Copies of this chain bind each other. A is one copy, B any other.
């Protein structure tokens, strides 16, 4: 019901406070299965300055629009591109829908090949009627099989999607192989780097082996990267990046605004997400991000070691920051963990596993607490 009369601000606020306390926070160390994390300390300050400012009016909020361009350029630079354009989006789903649309617009063809591990936003794009999907098979590390991709290509196919850090296993598709196939068949590649875009470049900086996955590959036409995942920026903060030569083909006409083009589905975009991210990259620099990635990889290695020491099975050596734990009935265990211990983990039905994402807020202590709870849960559920 829409209430007839209001209550005092204090009364309403304390009710919200009471309600808020029932849900967990990343700071509790109990949220272990999602890709959000504790925002950078600069976040709330910037949000408060820009609370009602929008990027949909780049003429009114000229300086905010300039900062958006600056961070898009910084991401293009980080991802080895030149002349990269783009837009902040509400996250990876909007960007992936735009990526699918981009492949269709550029090729004039309706089908795209996506790995069967692709994020469900591609299913959204298909259900909306933007593209149709051909699902390529993945290997036992859940990386797309280039031969399967190649077999699916025919005259109806307009492009290929690769994932740089998939949701299930945290592994990286062989994008360089997709690039080769695209070259041979005169197609283009869109890379879903929602999570990996701010992890893989720093792993490379650390001297780890990271195969090419970004604009360095000539057929990679567009990518997405989510600052609200590993960029310490609160949601909604995604980006959709593309080579500037296709801007005319993929823009949307936006009447009412002076700058009559948009590249996003969303029209009224808040101004603070790019400004927060601008603050984050200027506070951390590559160096700060490297340290963050190094720490997460350390916690990941600790998690794998400790899980195995406790007799729990880790089905594959993690390539990035996602650790899986094999269990008989992952949904049941995850539900038990949540209800009994208020610990949230992800679930991968494909791997019959629990999925732990080692985001910056995950520590060795939270891993230890999870292990204790997990051992108890498995024992308890088997007993029944």
A8 / chain B contacts, CB cutoff of 8 Å: 283
Given A1-B77, A286-B4, CB of A234 within 8 Å of CB of B62: no
- B267 to A92, Cβ gap below 8 A? yes
Given A9-B42, A36-B52, A104-B129, CB of A267 within 8 Å of CB of B4: no
Given A20-B49, A63-B23, A93-B267, CB of A2 within 8 Å of CB of B44: no
Question: What's the minimum C-beta distance from A35 to chain B, rounded to whole angstroms?
Answer: 8
Chain A: residues with Cβ within 8 Å of the partner, total of 111
A78 / chain B contacts, CB cutoff of 8 Å: 2
Q: Does A171 contact B (CB under 8 A)?
A: no
- B12 to A42, Cβ gap below 8 A? yes
- B270 to A236, Cβ gap below 8 A? yes
Q: Does A341 contact B (CB under 8 A)?
A: no
- A236 to B234, Cβ gap below 8 A? no
Residue with the highest number of chain B CB atoms closer than 10 Å, among A51, A262, A348: A51
Q: Does A281 contact B (CB under 8 A)?
A: yes
- A36 to B54, Cβ gap below 8 A? yes
Within 8 A of B (CB), among A318-359: 331, 334-335, 338, 344, 346-349
Q: Does A24 contact B (CB under 8 A)?
A: yes
- B52 to A123, Cβ gap below 8 A? no
Q: Does A369 contact B (CB under 8 A)?
A: no
Q: Type the 1/0 row for A222-257, where 1 means its CB is closer than 8 Å to any CB of B.
A: 000010100000111000000000000000111110
Which partner residue on chain B sits nearest A226 by CB separation? B268
Q: Type the 1/0 row for A50-73, where 1 means its CB is closer than 8 Å to any CB of B.
A: 111110010111111001000001
- A38 to B26, Cβ gap below 8 A? no
Q: Does A302 contact B (CB under 8 A)?
A: no
Q: Does A6 contact B (CB under 8 A)?
A: yes
Given A2-B77, A285-B5, CB of A256 within 8 Å of CB of B92: no
Which partner residue on chain B sits nearest A272 by CB separation? B234
Q: Does A19 contact B (CB under 8 A)?
A: yes
A24 / chain B contacts, CB cutoff of 8 Å: 60-61
- Residues of A at the B interface (CB closer than 8 Å) are 1-9, 12-13, 15-17, 19-20, 22-26, 31, 34-39, 41-54, 57, 59-64, 67, 73-75, 77-78, 90-94, 97, 101, 104, 119-121, 123-124, 127-130, 167, 226, 228, 234-236, 252-256, 258, 262, 265-270, 275, 278-279, 281-288, 331, 334-335, 338, 344, 346-349
18 contacts between A and B (CB under 8 A): A2-B285, A3-B74, A22-B62, A22-B63, A24-B60, A31-B60, A43-B51, A91-B267, A101-B128, A104-B129, A123-B252, A128-B130, A128-B265, A130-B130, A226-B268, A234-B270, A236-B236, A236-B270
